[in-house]
C-alpha cells in the first residue's frame, strides 16, 4: 500500500539531512527446497516471493525497517542468500538486505532436507545481525524466523534422522528468552511425523496448511512485522496466526 | 497549539503515524503546555500501541502534568537550583500519577502512556521523564554553529526498541528520571516522543546518542521568527511530521513540542 502522505518536504525543511537509522526488524525465511518441492510448489513459492517483494517495497512502514534474509535447505545442504545471490559458506557478508532493496532469489528444488542445520544457520545469522546492529548503534525489534517445509528432517544422504531432537531444548530456551519469534509452517503433503517436528520446534506458532499458500504465508509475516512495530501483545500475534491457519478456501470446509 | 508568554514562544503538535492512519486508529501521542507567571511547562506523552485506551491516557497525562507541574513550580520555584528542583519534579510527578490512577481506576493499564515534562523557570530548567520520550536543548554556539544537547534519557527498558516503561507500570517510580539544568544560554527546548527518535537523534558509530543538528536546527529556526506562529508555519511542521521521509524512519505517531526564547538574554 502506498502512503497518502505528502511525498516531499516543505521548503523550509528541505535541507534536513536524515540518517538511514530506521529501527530494524530482521526477518529470516527458512525455506524447504528439497526434491519434494519440485515442480509447481517451488514455482508457486518463487511467484509468491516476487509479489511479496513488490508489496514490501510499497509499504512505507516496512520497507526501511524490515531486513530480509533467505535460508534454504535442499540440494546438497543449506544455503544463506543475500537477495538473489547465494552466499558461499562461511562468508563474512551478512545475508540481510533492507526490504526496500530486497530482490527475491529464483529457487530450484532438489536434494535432501537438512531442516535442523537450516534452523541452526537461521539462529546464527540472527544473532550475528543483532550484534552488528548493536555495534552500529541501531535499535531493533524482535526478529522473526519463518520455517516452511513439506517434509521431515533428513541427513545429508536423505535418510530420516533424529538429529532435530538436539534443537528442541535450544529453540525452547531461545524463544523463552524472546530472542526471536519462530513460525513453523507445514505445507503440501507433510506427514503426521513432519507436523510433530514442527510442533516441537514452535509450540505456539506451528501450522499445517493444505496446498502451498505461500502468498498468504508471506502476507502473514508482513502482518506480524507490523504488529511487532506497534509493540503489540502476544495475543495479537496469536490472532494473526490463527487467522492465517483458518483461512482455508471454502471448498475445503 | 501556540503561546507567547513567560518569555518563551511555544508551539507543537502530535500527528497520527502512517500505521494508525492506514488502520483508522486515533493518534496515541499527545502534547500540552501552559504557563503561570514566569514559569512555563511543556509535556509530551506516547500512549502504548498495545493498549486500547492509550490515546485517552496520553491526553490525560499531559493535561495533568501541565496542571500540577506549573502549580508547584509557580508557587515555590526553588532558587538556587539543585536538589530542591529534583524534589519538586518528583512531588509533582507523584500528584500526576495519583490522579491518573484514581481517574483510570482498575483499568489503568489500558491507558498506559509514557510522559516527558519540562519546567522552564527563570533560573533553571527541570526535566522529568518516564519512558522513552526525549528532550533536546539549544544553547550557545561554537564557530558560529548553534549547539544542541540531548538531555540524559532513562536507561532502556529492554533489548528491543518497542519496549519501554509507562506511567502505569507497577514499578514506574523506579524508572523516573529527573534533571535540573541552570544555563541562561538555553534559548531553545524541544520535546518529543520516540516516533521522532530516528529523525531528531543520531546514533551513528555506536557512540553516544546526539541530536541530529540539521533536524533540530530547522525546527527551532522556524519558530525563531518573531510574532505568532503563522498557519503556514503550522502546516509546514505537520507536513514534515507526516512526510514519507519521516515515515520511512518510523511509522509511529509523532510529537514535536518546541519553545524558543522571544528575546535572547
Supply the range of the domain harboring residue A107: 23-182+218-246
Total domains in the fold of chain A: 1
Q: Is residue A140 part of a domain?
A: yes
Q: Tell me the C-alpha distance between A13 and B216, whole Å.
A: 10
Q: Tell me the C-alpha distance between B197 and B2, whole Å.
A: 23
Asked if pLDDT for residue B240 goes beyond 90, the answer is yes
> Given this model, what pLDDT does residue B29 score?
94
DSSP states of A42-93: HHHHHHHHHHHHHHHHH-HHHHTTEEEEEEEEEBTEEEEEETTEEPPTT-SS
Of A9, A64, A141, the CB nearest to B243: A9
DSSP states of B213-238: HHHHHHHHHHHHSSSSPPHHHHHHHH
DSSP states of B121-139: -SS-EEEEEESS-EEEEEE
Q: Does the ipTM surpass 0.90?
A: no
Radius of gyration of chain A (CA): 18
Asked if pLDDT for residue A3 goes beyond 50, the answer is no
Q: Is residue B202 part of a domain?
A: yes
Q: Is residue B31 part of a domain?
A: yes
CATH number of residue A92's parent domain: 3.40.50
Total domains in the fold of chain B: 1
Q: Is residue A208 part of a domain?
A: no
Asked if pLDDT for residue A240 goes beyond 70, the answer is yes
How many inter-chain contacts (A to B, CB under 8 Å) are there? 127
Supply the range of the domain harboring residue B149: 2-258
Q: Is residue B249 part of a domain?
A: yes
> Given this model, what pLDDT does residue A7 score?
60
Least Cα distance to B160 among B130, B194, B129, B134 occurs for B194
Work out the number of other CB atoms within 10 angstroms of the CB of residue A198: 24
Chain A residue numbers touching B18 (CB-CB < 8 A): 3, 5, 60-61
Minimum mean pLDDT among B2-16, B89-103, B119-133: which range? Answer: B2-16
**pLDDT band, residue B19 (cuts 50/70/90):** confident
> Given this model, what pLDDT does residue B51 score?
86
Q: Tell me the C-alpha distance between A240 and A237, whole Å.
A: 5
Q: Is residue B264 part of a domain?
A: no
Q: Is residue A1 part of a domain?
A: no
Tell me the per-residue pLDDT of A179-237, one tens digit each, with 9 for 90 and over.
999 999 999 989 999 999 999 999 999 999 888 889 888 999 999 998 888 778 888 89
Least Cα distance to A14 among B214, B197, B251, B196 occurs for B214
Q: HSE on the CB side for A231, CA within 13 Å? A: 28
Q: Is residue A32 part of a domain?
A: yes
C-alpha cell at B11: 508551539
What letter does residue B113 receive in the DSSP assignment? B
Tell me the per-residue pLDDT of A101-111, one tens digit each, with 9 for 90 and over.
999 999 999 99
Of A16, A229, A233, the CB nearest to B251: A229
> Given this model, what pLDDT does residue A21 score?
86
C-alpha dihedral (B72, B77, B81, B86), degrees to nearest 10: 0
Q: Tell me the C-alpha distance between B42 and B118, whole Å.
A: 5
Q: Is A115 helix (H, G, I), strand (E, B) or coil?
A: helix
> Given this model, what pLDDT does residue A5 score?
43
| Phi, psi values for residue B223, rounded to 5° | -100, -10
Q: Is residue A56 part of a domain?
A: yes
Q: Is residue B90 part of a domain?
A: yes
C-alpha cell at B131: 519512558
Q: How far is CA A35 from CA A73, A89, A93, A158, B58, in A?
A: 10, 21, 28, 10, 55
Work out the number of other CB atoms within 10 angstroms of the CB of residue B264: 9
**pLDDT band, residue A1 (cuts 50/70/90):** very low
Q: Is residue B263 part of a domain?
A: no
> Given this model, what pLDDT does residue B217 score?
95
C-alpha cell at B30: 499527545
Interface residues from chain B to A (CB-CB < 8 Å): 17-19, 21-22, 48-50, 159-163, 197-199, 202-207, 209, 212, 214-215, 218-219, 221-222, 235-236, 239-240, 242-252
The model's pTM: 0.84
CB contact under 8 A, A231 and B18: no
- B6 within 8 A of B39, measured Cβ to Cβ: yes
What is the rounded average pLDDT of the residues B55-70? Answer: 96
Q: Is residue A90 part of a domain?
A: yes
Helix and strand tally (H, E) in chain B?
Answer: 8, 13
Q: Tell me the C-alpha distance between B256 and B190, whole Å.
A: 7
> Given this model, what pLDDT does residue B4 score?
55
Of A1, A3, A21, the CB nearest to B203: A21
| Phi, psi values for residue A116, rounded to 5° | -60, -50
Of B19, B203, B219, the CB nearest to A226: B19
Residue A72: strand pairing partners: A31, A79
Q: Is A124 helix (H, G, I), strand (E, B) or coil?
A: helix
In terms of C-beta density within 10 A (0-12 exposed, 13-18 middle, 19 or more buried), how is residue B235 classed? exposed
In terms of C-beta density within 10 A (0-12 exposed, 13-18 middle, 19 or more buried), how is residue B126 classed? buried
**pLDDT band, residue A9 (cuts 50/70/90):** confident
Tell me the per-residue pLDDT of B194-227, one tens digit each, with 9 for 90 and over.
999 999 998 765 568 899 999 999 999 999 988 8
- B38 within 8 A of B75, measured Cβ to Cβ: no
Q: Tell me the C-alpha distance between A159 and A146, whole Å.
A: 24
> Given this model, what pLDDT does residue A251 score?
41
> Given this model, what pLDDT does residue A82 score?
96
CB contact under 8 A, A63 and B18: no
Interface residues from chain A to B (CB-CB < 8 Å): 1, 3-10, 12-13, 15-19, 21-23, 60-61, 63-65, 134-142, 178, 226, 228-233, 236
- B42 within 8 A of B118, measured Cβ to Cβ: yes
CATH number of residue B199's parent domain: 3.60.40.10
Q: Is residue B52 part of a domain?
A: yes
Work out the number of other CB atoms within 10 angstroms of the CB of residue A2: 9
Q: Is residue B42 part of a domain?
A: yes
Amino acid at each position: 500500500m502506498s502512503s497518502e502522505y505528502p511525498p516531499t518536504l516543505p521548503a523550509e525543511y528541505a535541507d534536513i539531512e536524515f540518517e538511514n537509522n530506521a529501527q530494524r526488524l530482521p526477518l529470516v525465511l527458512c525455506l524447504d527446497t528439497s526434491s519434494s518441492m519440485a515442480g509447481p510448489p517451488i514455482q508457486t513459492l518463487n511467484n509468491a516471493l516476487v509479489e511479496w517483494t513488490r508489496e514490501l517495497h510499497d509499504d512505507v512502514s516496512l520497507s526501511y525497517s524490515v531486513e530480509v534474509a533467505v535460508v534454504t535447505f535442499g540440494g546438497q545442504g543449506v544455503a544463506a542468500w543475500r537477495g538473489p545471490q547465494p552466499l558461499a559458506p562461511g562468508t563474512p557478508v551478512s545475508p540481510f538486505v533492507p526490504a526496500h532493496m530486497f530482490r527475491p532469489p529464483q529457487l530450484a528444488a532438489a536434494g535432501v532436507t537438512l531442516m535442523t542445520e537450516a534452523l541452526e544457520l537461521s539462529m546464527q545469522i540472527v544473532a550475528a545481525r543483532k550484534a552488528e546492529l548493536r555495534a552500529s548503534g541501531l535499535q531493533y525489534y524482535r526478529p522473526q524466523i519463518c520455517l516452511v517445509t513439506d517434509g521431515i528432517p533428513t541427513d545429508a544422504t536423505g535418510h530420516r534422522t533424529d538429529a532435530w531432537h538436539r534443537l528442541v531444548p535450544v529453540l525452547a530456551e531461545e524463544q523463552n528468552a524472546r530472542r526471536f519469534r519462530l513460525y513453523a509452517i507445514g505445507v503440501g503433503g507433510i506427514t503426521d511425523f513432519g507436523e510433530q517436528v514442527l510442533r516441537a520446534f514452535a509450540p505456539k506458532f506451528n501450522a499445517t496448511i493444505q496446498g502451498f499458500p505461500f502468498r498468504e504465508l508471506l502476507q502473514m509475516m508482513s502482518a506480524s512485522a507490523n504488529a511487532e512495530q506497534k509493540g503489540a501483545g502476544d495475543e495479537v500475534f496469536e490472532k494473526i496466526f490463527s487467522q492465517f491457519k483458518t483461512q482455508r478456501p471454502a471448498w475445503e470446509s | 497549539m501556540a503561546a507567547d508568554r513567560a518569555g518563551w514562544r511555544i508551539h507543537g503538535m502530535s500527528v497520527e503515524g502512517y500505521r494508525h492512519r492506514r488502520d483508522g486508529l486515533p493518534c496515541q501521542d499527545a502534547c500540552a503546555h501552559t504557563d503561570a507567571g514566569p514559569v512555563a511547562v511543556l509535556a509530551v506523552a506516547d500512549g502504548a500501541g498495545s493498549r486500547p485506551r492509550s490515546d485517552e491516557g496520553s491526553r490525560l497525562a499531559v493535561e495533568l502534568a501541565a496542571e500540577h507541574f506549573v502549580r508547584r513550580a509557580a508557587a515555590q520555584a526553588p532558587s538556587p537550583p539543585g536538589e530542591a528542583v529534583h524534589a519538586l519534579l518528583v512531588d509533582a510527578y507523584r500528584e500526576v500519577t495519583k490522579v491518573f490512577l484514581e481517574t483510570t481506576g482498575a483499568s489503568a493499564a489500558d491507558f498506559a502512556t509514557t510522559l516527558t515534562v519540562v519546567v522552564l523557570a527563570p533560573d533553571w530548567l527541570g526535566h522529568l521523564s518516564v519512558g522513552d520520550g526525549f528532550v533536546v536543548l539549544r544553547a550557545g554556539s561554537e564557530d558560529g554553529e548553534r549547539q544542541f544537547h540531548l538531555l540524559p534519557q532513562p536507561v532502556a527498558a529492554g533489548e528491543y526498541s518497542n519496549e519501554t516503561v509507562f506511567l502505569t507500570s507497577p514499578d514506574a517510580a523506579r524508572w523516573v528520571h529527573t534533571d535540573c539544568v541552570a544555563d541562561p544560554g538555553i534559548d531553545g527546548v524541544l520535546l518529543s516522543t520516540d516516533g521522532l527518535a530516528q529523525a531528531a537523534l543520531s546514533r551513528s558509530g555506536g557512540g553516544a546518542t546526539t541530536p541530529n543538528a540539521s533536524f533540530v536546527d530547522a525546527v527551532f529556526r522556524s519558530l525563531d521568527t518573531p510574532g505568532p506562529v503563522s498557519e503556514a508555519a503550522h502546516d509546514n511542521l505537520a507536513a514534515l511530521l507526516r512526510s514519507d521521509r519521516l515515515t520511512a524512519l518510523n511509522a509511529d505517531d509523532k510529537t514535536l513540542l518546541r519553545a524558543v526564547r522571544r528575546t535572547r538574554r
